């Protein structure tokens, strides 16, 4: 099966993202098509230590193997400061600062066209989703406040009801007192009739 130029670009982008996930910095991809007999794309992954060099190399190979793309040739596998993975149309250079200075890697690929390898935010749909989430959170934050308000008003309504019941309790007592007062007044009045001065 032949691999098209676009497939080589896809391989280069996968390799660059794999290196980035393992903290390679800087990560650069160059388009060499038509200008170099070695490859169509070059991926440059700078690392800070031998363990990171191993981790980046392994991650690139695993990611591409998952895509059914296998490394054709490996160079510098015993080196602690530079490795090259050859995928036919794509060369992946993994190196540390010392190797970069010694081999002037930046100058070697300086004349080639850089390729944007980072995934661009999927335009407006993702941006709208992310901007909609905080709005949804704000709306959710407002909902409890709305729910709390009726509870407070219900509590306020309950308080007057308590006052009314207290007032109702006191009213019957007053009503009972009034009839008693009338009876007393009637008894007093009756006594007055009885105790009228005699002639």
Residues 33 and 108 in one domain: yes
The rounded radius of gyration (Å) of the Cα atoms in the chain is 45
Structural domains of the chain, count: 2
User: Which range marks the domain in which residue 83 is found?
Assistant: 5-119
Of 54, 84, 119, which marks where a domain is finished?
119
pLDDT digits (tens, 9 = 90+) for 131-189: 444 444 444 444 444 445 445 444 444 455 444 444 445 454 444 444 544 444 444 54
14 and 88 within one domain: yes
Residue 135 placed within a domain = no
Is 23 strand, coil or helix?
coil
Place of tokens 């190797």: 99
107 and 39 belong to one structural domain: yes
Q: Which two tokens stand for residue 161?
A: 């009801």
For residue 38, the domain's CATH number is 3.30.460.10
- Give me the pLDDT at residue 140, please: 46
Q: Do residue 115 and residue 148 come from a single domain?
A: no
Question: Residue range 49-64: average pLDDT?
Answer: 95
With respect to residue 126, please indicate whether it lies within any of the assigned structural domains: no
Does residue 1 carry a pLDDT above 80? no
List the structure tokens of 145: 């406040």
Banded model confidence at residue 77, pLDDT cuts 50, 70, 90? confident
pLDDT tens, residue by residue, 14-55 = 999 999 999 999 999 999 988 888 899 999 999 999 999 999
Residues in the chain: 199
Task: Report residue 167 as tokens.
Answer: 């007032």
Please report whether residue 129 resides in a domain: no
Residue 20 covered by a domain: yes
In a domain, 139, yes or no: no
């Amino acid at each position: 099966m032949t691999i098209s130029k676009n497939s080589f670009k896809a391989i280069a982008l996968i390799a660059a993202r794999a290196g980035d996930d393992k903290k390679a910095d800087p990560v650069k991809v160059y388009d060499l098509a038509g200008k170099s007999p070695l490859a169509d794309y070059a991926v440059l992954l700078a690392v800070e230590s031998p363990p990171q060099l191993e981790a980046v190399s392994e991650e690139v190979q695993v990611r591409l193997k998952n895509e059914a793309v296998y490394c054709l040739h490996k160079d510098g596998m015993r080196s602690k400061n530079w490795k090259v993975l050859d995928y036919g149309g794509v060369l992946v250079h993994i190196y540390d600062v010392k190797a970069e200075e010694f081999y002037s890697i930046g100058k070697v690929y300086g004349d080639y066209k850089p390729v944007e390898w980072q995934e661009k935010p999927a335009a407006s749909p993702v941006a709208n989703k992310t901007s909609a989430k905080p709005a949804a959170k704000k709306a959710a934050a407002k909902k409890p406040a709305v729910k709390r308000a009726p509870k407070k008003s219900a509590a306020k309504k309950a308080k007057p009801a308590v006052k009314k019941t207290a007032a109702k309790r006191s009213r019957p007592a007053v009503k009972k007192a009034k009839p008693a007062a009338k009876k007393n007044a009637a008894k007093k009045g009756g006594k007055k009739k009885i105790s009228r001065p005699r002639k």
